[in-house]
Amino acid sequence: MYIQLQQKKADVIDLEGKKLKEIDLPLIFSYPVRKDLINRAFRSSFTKSLQPKGRDPMAGKRTTARSFGINLGLARVPRIRGSGEAALAPNTVGGRLAFPPSPMEKIVEEINKKEMKLAIISAISATAIKDLVKRRGHRLPDGLSLPIIVTDDLEKLSKSKDIIEFIEKLGLEDELERCKTKKIRAGKGKMRGRRYKIPKGPLFVIKDEKSPVIKAIRNIQGFDVITAKELSVIHLAPGGHPGRLTIFTEGAIQVLNERFGGELK
């Protein structure tokens, strides 16, 4: 059974924010948004980056402690001879853990290849829906149409100030200010390598992996850049929530059409 899709049109703008032409969008921008599938695909991609955690099998067991037995008026926990200090048992100081984490535990969410493909297409389609983009917290002007497609001249920029000027010409000054906020995380996460919370800003999808614009975009807080060949749910739907503000180059649209062209059965 094929999904009946209706092809959409979009404007291509230049670096001045002015309309140059109108193109037909690939059908991947017309697919229904499957939030459940996107969430599952995000968990699958995210858990693959986790490192298995375990314990030394002998942790807490390197001791001569043995139980003295019963009828001595003492608890039957293992004790070290001579000192009488309790050890080895889970409820003792320096004892073993009752249920330590195991490196054999399954921590990866498995997903089928076709499900992952449909999830990425669905996340791409969500970038063209203004309500979903605003629901993620992005601040958009009323006159801006989605998706945002720019000429390939964007990939020739090599300075961050040029990217900021382009963002301002699109009317995304409020979005730029939102990305500048940097908050200290509440709780113990501050001690675990994630002290600060930085908003997720616009995502730039380009064609050339050696383009100088990559370093220019990465230098701006909250901004991300990825090639169309490597685009995934991790980039399009951080946290499993679709609708990230995405800026495509015209060449990236062609690559995406070749990568996901055709309808899914």
**CB environment 40-65: b (16+ within 10 A), e (fewer):** bbbebbbeeeeeeeeeeeeebeebeb
Q: How confident is the model at residue 4 (pLDDT cuts 50, 70, 90)?
A: low
Among residues 117, 143, 146, the alpha carbon closest in space to that of 131 is found at 146
Q: Which CATH number, 3.40.1370.10, 3.40.50.150, 3.40.630.30, 2.40.30.10, labels domain 9-26+126-260?
A: 3.40.1370.10
Residue with tokens 């995380």: 185
| Across 192-199, average pLDDT | 94
Please tell me the pTM assigned to this model.
0.85
Q: Are the C-beta atoms of 251 and 257 separated by less than 8 Å?
A: no
| Tens of pLDDT, residues 105-123 | 999 999 999 999 999 999 9
- Stretch 26-33: mean pLDDT, rounded? 92
Structure tokens at 183: 């908050």
Q: Please report the DSSP string for 118-135 in residue order.
A: HHHHHHHHHTT-HHHHHH
Q: Which pLDDT score is estimated for 263?
A: 52
Measured CA distances, 186 to 140, 179, 192, 241 (Å): 28, 19, 12, 22
The average confidence (pLDDT) of the chain is 92
CB 264 within 8 A of CB 112: no
pLDDT for residue 127: 95
| pLDDT on residue 242 | 96
pLDDT digits (tens, 9 = 90+) for 37-55: 999 999 999 999 999 999 9
C-alpha closest to that of 29 among 236, 226, 239 = 236
Q: 100's torsion region: left (phi>0), alpha (psi -120 to 50) or beta?
A: beta
pLDDT band with cut points at 50, 70 and 90 for residue 265: very low
> Is residue 204 classed exposed, middle or buried when 0-12, 13-18 and 19+ CB atoms within 10 A define those classes?
buried
User: Residue 71's pLDDT band (boundaries 50, 70, 90)?
Assistant: very high
CB atoms inside a 10 Å sphere around CB 235 = 20
pLDDT surpassing 80 at residue 3: no
| pLDDT, position 87 | 95
- Structural domain spans, the chain: 9-26+126-260
Beta bridge partners of 246: 203
- Nearest residue to 85 via CA among 77, 258, 21, 221: 77
**3-state class (DSSP) for residue 227:** strand
pLDDT digits (tens, 9 = 90+) for 130-182: 999 999 999 999 889 999 999 999 999 999 999 999 999 999 999 999 999 99
Nearest Cα residue to 238 out of 128, 160, 126: 126
Q: Within 13 Å and on the Cβ side, how many CA atoms surround 215?
A: 6
- What is the SS3 assignment for 18? coil
Is the CB of residue 200 less than 8 Å from the CB of residue 238? yes
pLDDT at 95: 93
pLDDT for 60 beyond 80? yes
Residue 42 has a pLDDT of 97
pLDDT tens, position by position, 215-233: 999 999 999 999 999 999 9
